[in-house]
Each structure stands twice: as structure tokens, then as C-alpha cells.
């Protein structure tokens, strides 16, 4: 088996040399196999072996170029073989040249053309052999020429089909590998976006509170040191909370594959009172309005709702220019509706704003199959309205996520 594979690899590496050797071998076999008592039907004064040696040249020499010009080589070989059959034996190794040429055409050329040319050659050789045969017309031996070439047609078609099948399998494997790579890149991109949103929400919220409380402490340090110390205590608490959440996030990123149940930092609406208290200490009073009966939501929706409320209120505190905001949570039959509204003058392009806050909230809502809207309120100020499904859909629309992530909101009030 190894020897066969080695010879096959060598033939593929040097096709012309391999086909030349094949032609020489068949040519010699044809000369040796000619019986000594064989005579020619016409021109009986000629030496049959000399005639065969001359006739064998156009039969076997073109096989050297059979891979490059398969149809042309088949035409020359079949014509030369039929020409020899007219004056010489109608059967024997001389048919090997036609068989190889037919096999080459049927295994390499387009299927319909190959079958048409192959069967035409088989019929031409079979009829010529039957017509010029010295045996009776109804003898089965007259079908030898047709059988040889027909067998070459069948073998060539089988080889061509197998090559097409193997090529299709390899193409599917290549596409599957490409799909796996694309899926891996897509998941990496999604994970990077998720981590970016988490870090933005964690750092943005706590840094905003620290900045406010530090400003209060600096302003009251000389005149009201007790209030300044209270503000610094709030700074310390906000910093501790930020470090805690950052450590939790980093610990998730450092987990190996051996961990089956990762502990992901996942605050939810059960921490909403603590969040509102932190804003109250920072000077933003938030009126919470509940509608409907609170119900259990999925972890993804719970985290999304918390982060959207956190980011919206952080934007109000940083950019809206007001000290009051309204938060409405409405539990309806199928969705959880969140609405954050302020009455401040705001600014369409806050200084230093990147727009990532609104983009991140839009992506978060879309990631769980929800909807997001943000813009000026009917009575001034700015309003963020989100609807999240209480039961996540089985398949999420990644197309909408990618589309919305590429569009920067026209109004960036409240963007971090």
C-alpha cells in the first residue's frame, strides 16, 4: 500500500514522465503480444510487426499529453486504432490506448461531454471491430472491443464521481472550519462589548459619585468640616463599591475552562434601593414609581434593567443640570417597562461625552430582545424608555445589535 501511494504521488509530481512511461509500456506489450503467425488482410506482403510498430506510434504516443488535452488525444487515439483495425487484428492490446484515453476523458471532463465522447468512441470501436472481425457476426468475441472501451467509460465516470464527492466533502469541511472561526471571532467581539459595557457602567457610575462628593468635600472643608467629612465618607464608600465590582469582573475574566459555574458580577433590581440611596447622597433625588405586581425575571433581564437604570441616572446627574429625576417601573403582562425622566435643561452634546452611554444601553436592551428609546421629553428634559421581555426569546436578534451599535444617537443628552 505504501509503495502504491509513493508511486501515485510520484506520478502526480511528474505527470508527463509517468504518462510517457505508461505509453512506452503499452507500446512494448502490444508489440510483444502480436502472434508470430499473424498476417494482414490487405497488403499481405508487408511485415505485420512493422505495420504494428508504425501504427502503434499514433495510438500510444499521444497518451503523454492525455491530461492536458484529453478530448483531442482521445480523437487521435481512436482514429489511429480504427485505422489499424482496417488492415490488422481487431482485438488485442492495441485497444489499451483507446481505453486509457476514454478513461481520462470520462474522469476529468464535464460529465455530459465525457459520456457523449466516451460512448461515441466505444460504439465506433465496437462497430469497426465487429465489421472487420474474421469471426461470424453473432460470435460474442466480437463484443470485446466494445466491452473494453465501455468498461473504461464506467471506470472513468466512477472516478470522476468519487473525486467530485471528495471535493465536496473537503469544501464542506473548509466552510465548516471557516464558520467556526467566524463564530469564535463573533463571540470574542460580543464578549469584548459586554465587558466594555460592564466596565463603563461600573466605573462611570461610581466615578461620577466620587467626583460629586469630592467636590462637595472640597467646598465645605473649611466652612463645614463635619459635612465635608461625611462627603469624604461617601467618597470612600463609593470607591470601595467600585473596587469590589471591578474585582468581581476581573475574577470572571481570570477564570479558566475548568470552572463550570462561574460567579459573574450580576447586580439586579433587588439592589435598586441601594442604588437610589447612592444617588441621593450625591445630590440627585429620585422618585420611584412602581406599577403592577413585581415578578421574577431572568438573570439577564434583571442585570440589564439594573444597568440601564444605573446608567440613565448617572447621565442625569452628570449632564442634565437638575437635582431631581423620576424612575418608573411598570410590570405588565409580557414586558418590564423602565422609564427615567428628568426636567433639566441638559445639553445635546455634553462636554467630554462620548455617546457610549446611550449606545451601551441600546445594546443591552437589544441583547435580551427588548427595545430602547431616548430623546427629549414632552415637557422638556430628557427621557429614556426601555421595554424588556419578562421571558427572553429563544433566539436573539444579533443583526439589530450590530446595526444599532454602529449608529451614534443624534441626541446624546445623558451619554457618558
- Note the pLDDT tens digit of each residue in 90-129: 777 888 888 999 999 998 888 888 889 889 988 998 888 8
Q: Kindly list the distances between the CA atom of residue 185 and the CA atoms of 90, 181, 192, 382, 403, in Å, as whole numbers in the listed order.
A: 66, 6, 10, 37, 17
Lowest mean pLDDT among 96-100, 192-196, 339-343, 379-383: 192-196
Average confidence (pLDDT) over 294-305: 84
Rounded Cα distance, 194 and 48, in Å? 87
pLDDT for 337: 92
Residue 286 has pLDDT above 80, yes or no: yes
Residue 364 has pLDDT above 50, yes or no: yes
Please, which pLDDT band fits residue 155 given cuts at 50, 70 and 90?
A: very high
Residue 35 reports pLDDT greater than 90: no
Are residues 357 and 414 in contact, defined by beta-carbon separation less than 8 angstroms? Answer: yes
pLDDT in tens, 139-153: 878 888 888 889 999
pLDDT tens per residue, range 38-95? 656 655 567 777 888 888 889 899 999 988 999 999 999 999 988 888 877 777 788 8
| Banded pLDDT at 316 (limits 50, 70, 90) | confident
* For range 331-353, the mean pLDDT: 73
Lowest mean pLDDT among 12-21, 367-376, 403-412: 403-412
pLDDT > 70? residue 392: no
Task: Tell me what pLDDT residue 393 has.
Answer: 41
Q: How far is CA 184 from the centre of its chain?
A: 9
301's enclosing H/E stretch is helix 299-315
Which grid coordinates belong to 25?
509500456
Contacts 24+ apart (CB under 8 A), 268-271: 268/299, 268/302, 268/303, 268/305, 268/306, 269/297, 269/302, 269/305, 269/306, 269/329, 271/306
What is the structure's pLDDT at 214? Answer: 78
For residues 182 and 265, the model is more confident at 182
Strands 324-331 and 285-291, sheet pairing? parallel
Q: What is the mean pLDDT of residues 344-357?
A: 56
Q: Are 82 and 128 in contact (CB under 8 A)?
A: yes
Q: Contact, 77 vs 59, CB < 8 A? A: yes
pLDDT at 36 over 50: yes
Other Cβ atoms less than 10 A from the Cβ of 79: the count is: 15
SS3 of residue 213 by DSSP: helix
What pLDDT is stored for residue 405 in this prediction? 44
Residue 32: pLDDT over 90:
no
pLDDT at 40: 62
Residue 251 has pLDDT above 70, yes or no: no
**Which of 60-69, 149-158, 271-280 bottoms out in mean pLDDT, i.e. has the lowest?**
271-280
CA 286 to the chain's CA centroid: 47
Is pLDDT of 333 > 70? yes
Instruction: Locate the DSSP E strands across 227-280.
Output: none
pLDDT value for 411: 36
Tell me, what DSSP letter sits at residue 89?
-
Positive/negative CA dihedral, 21, 22, 24, 29: positive
What is the spatial distance between Cα 40 and Cα 37, in angstroms, rounded to a whole number? 10
Amino acid at each position: 500500500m505504501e509503495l502504491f501511494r509513493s508511486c501515485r504521488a510520484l506520478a502526480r509530481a511528474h505527470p508527463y514522465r509517468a504518462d510517457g512511461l505508461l505509453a512506452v509500456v503499452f507500446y512494448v506489450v502490444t508489440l510483444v503480444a502480436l502472434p508470430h503467425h499473424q498476417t494482414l488482410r490487405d497488403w499481405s506482403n508487408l511485415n505485420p510487426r512493422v505495420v504494428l510498430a508504425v501504427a502503434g506510434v499514433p495510438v500510444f504516443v499521444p497518451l503523454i499529453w492525455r491530461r492536458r488535452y484529453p478530448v483531442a488525444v482521445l480523437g487521435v487515439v481512436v482514429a489511429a486504432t480504427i485505422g489499424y483495425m482496417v488492415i490488422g487484428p481487431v482485438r488485442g492490446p492495441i485497444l489499451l490506448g483507446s481505453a486509457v484515453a476514454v478513461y481520462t476523458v470520462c474522469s476529468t471532463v464535464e460529465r455530459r461531454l465525457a459520456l457523449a465522447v466516451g460512448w461515441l468512441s466505444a460504439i465506433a470501436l465496437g462497430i469497426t471491430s465487429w465489421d472487420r472481425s474474421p469471426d461470424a457476426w453473432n460470435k460474442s468475441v466480437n463484443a470485446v472491443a466494445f466491452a473494453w472501451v465501455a468498461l473504461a467509460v464506467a471506470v472513468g465516470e466512477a472516478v470522476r464521481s468519487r473525486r467530485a464527492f471528495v471535493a465536496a466533502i473537503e469544501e464542506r469541511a473548509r466552510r465548516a472550519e471557516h464558520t467556526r472561526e467566524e463564530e469564535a471571532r463573533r463571540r470574542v467581539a460580543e464578549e469584548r462589548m459586554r465587558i466594555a459595557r460592564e466596565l463603563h457602567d461600573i466605573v462611570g457610575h461610581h466615578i461620577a459619585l466620587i467626583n460629586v462628593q469630592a467636590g462637595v468635600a472640597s467646598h465645605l472643608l473649611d466652612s463645614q468640616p463635619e459635612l465635608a467629612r461625611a462627603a469624604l465618607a461617601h467618597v470612600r464608600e463609593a470607591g470601595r463599591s467600585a473596587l469590589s465590582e471591578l474585582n468581581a469582573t476581573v475574577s470572571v475574566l481570570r477564570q479558566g475552562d475548568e470552572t463550570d459555574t462561574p460567579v459573574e458580577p450580576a447586580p439586579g433590581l433587588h439592589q435598586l434601593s441601594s442604588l437610589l440611596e447612592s444617588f441621593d447622597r450625591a445630590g440627585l433625588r429620585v422618585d420611584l414609581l412602581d406599577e403592577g405586581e413585581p415578578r421574577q425575571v431572568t438573570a439577564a433581564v434583571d442585570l440589564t434593567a439594573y444597568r440601564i437604570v444605573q446608567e440613565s441616572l448617572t447621565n442625569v446627574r452628570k449632564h442634565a443640570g437638575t437635582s431631581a429625576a423620576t424612575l418608573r417601573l411598570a410590570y405588565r403582562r409580557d414586558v418590564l417597562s423602565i422609564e427615567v425622566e428628568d426636567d433639566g435643561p441638559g445639553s445635546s452634546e455634553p462636554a467630554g461625552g462620548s455617546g457610549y452611554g446611550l449606545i451601551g444601553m441600546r445594546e443591552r436592551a437589544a441583547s435580551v430582545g427588548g427595545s430602547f428609546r431616548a430623546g427629549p421629553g414632552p415637557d422638556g428634559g430628557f427621557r429614556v424608555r426601555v421595554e424588556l421581555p419578562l421571558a427572553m426569546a429563544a433566539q436573539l436578534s444579533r443583526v439589530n445589535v450590530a446595526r444599532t451599535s454602529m449608529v451614534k444617537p443624534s441626541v446624546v443628552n445623558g451619554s457618558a
